[in-house]
Amino acid sequence: MKLLVASSWSQDRLEEAQKTFPEVQFTVAANQDDILREIVDAEAVFGAINREAFLAAKQLKWIQNTGAGVERLARISEIAESDVTVTNTRGSHAATIAEHGFGLLISLTRQLPSLLDAQREHNWTRPFSGPQVGLTGLTLGVVGMGNIGRAIAKRGHGFDMEVIGVDINEVPKPDFVAELSLLDGLDDLMRRSDVVAVAAPITPETAGMLGPEQLRLMKPTAYLIVVSRGGIIDEDTLMEMLNAGQLAGAGLDVTAIEPLPEDSPLWDTPNLLITPHCSGGSTQTAAAGKAIFYDNLRRYLAKEPLTNLVDLKRGF
């Protein structure tokens, strides 16, 4: 069986995979030309491919996406309508993304950027623009209660926050979540929350879900943290609110356009922290993702059902 690796692998990683699965021909494609040439007779792909590559494939049966988000594959109607099985690494990133989200939040509530600026200037001062904020007793509203949302909620509970959540599907309510509702509870969540954490995938149903009307329901003392995908919140409204002091702060690990253009006004928006879509990266994430892939490859070879199946028509 030929498996095309449409991702950057080190020689050590390739040799380990070959040793673990000697019956598999692993072929690493370094660029699009290589992908188009090698995918023709590949039975499986590790990584994301574009429409041109998919149409060039003649024997493709399985795509193992390297992350949880599959929006790029979902946009390709030919893949969504095909019989090709798509799996992802759902769950491998959850803890790390949740930790990053709280890193953004605590940086804002404790005003760490201004303290870091003072440290660089060797200045023992407290250059706070307002009171520092503790998390105990605050209400955390989580939008999207999948693996990432639950990981955020669990950590919020650990900070003695009251956790409420909404999800597009009926999902079980964890013990550490006080209230969980469908999307008809979104407006109430936006009004009540001191912190809103967006952990939903980007799908046709969630794109633009937090528009001007929803964002303007937030308290002026509230914080917004977005760690799932760009395109869910209205960034223009967010900038207007931050510039007008109508929101205490926001942290974005994702934006509607990535990479974020150098001339984007988001860069200069006050009380906004931006990180370059890196919340999922960690040694633990890499190990967990590899374990999911190896388990699925073993299952595929044994003709057993795969895990982490994706419904591209729904987008997750």
Catalytic positions, written as ranges: 229, 258, 277
Q: How far is CA 99 from CA 96, 156, 158, 201, in A?
A: 5, 10, 12, 18
Instruction: Please name the residue that has the structure tokens 């003649």.
Output: 58
- Three-state SS string over 100-148 comes to HHHHHHHHHHCCHHHHHHHHHCCCCCCCCCCCCCCCCCCEEEEECCCHH
**CA 62 – CA 65 distance, rounded (Å):** 10
**CA 157 – CA 140 distance, rounded (Å):** 9
**CA 109 – CA 135 distance, rounded (Å):** 8
Assigned token pair, 136: 């105990």
Residue 216 CB partners (closer than 8 Å, separation 6+): 237, 241, 246
Burial of 90 (0-12, 13-18, 19+ CB in 10 A): buried
CA 40 to chain centre: 31
Tell which residue, 200, 219, 196, has the closest CA to residue 209: 200
Instruction: Please name the residue that has the structure tokens 């633009």.
Output: 208
Query: Is the CA virtual torsion 67, 206, 105, 188 positive or negative?
Result: negative
**CA 158 – CA 87 distance, rounded (Å):** 32
Whether residue 73 contacts residue 66, with contact meaning beta carbons closer than 8 Å, is answered with no
Whether residue 224 contacts residue 232, with contact meaning beta carbons closer than 8 Å, is answered with no
